[in-house]
Amino acid sequence: MAECLFCRIASRELSSDLVFEDEQLVAIRDINPVAPVHVLLIPKRHVGSLAEVAEGDAGLLGHLQLVASRLARELGLDSYRVVNNCGAAAGQSVFHLHYHLLGGREFRWPPG
Ligand code: DGP
pLDDT, tens digit (0-9, with 9 covering 90-100), for 79-111: 999 999 999 999 999 999 999 999 999 999 999
pTM listed for this prediction:
0.98
**4-26 tens-digit pLDDT:** 999 999 999 999 999 999 999 99
Residues with CB under 6 A from ligand 1: 5, 16, 28-32, 40, 85, 91-94
The residue whose CA is least distant from atom 20 of ligand 1 is: 31
Compute the distance between CA of residue 110 and CA of residue 93 in angstroms, rounded to an integer. 20
Question: Would the pLDDT of 1 be above 90?
Answer: no
Question: Would the pLDDT of 58 be above 90?
Answer: yes
Q: What is the pLDDT of residue 97?
A: 98
The mean pLDDT value for 69-81 works out to: 98
- CATH superfamily, region 5-103: HIT-like (3.30.428.10)
What residues does each domain of the chain span?
5-103
* Strand positions, DSSP E, the chain: 18-21, 25-29, 37-43, 80-83, 99-103
Residue 91 Cα: closest atom of ligand 1: 2
The mean pLDDT value for 52-81 works out to: 98
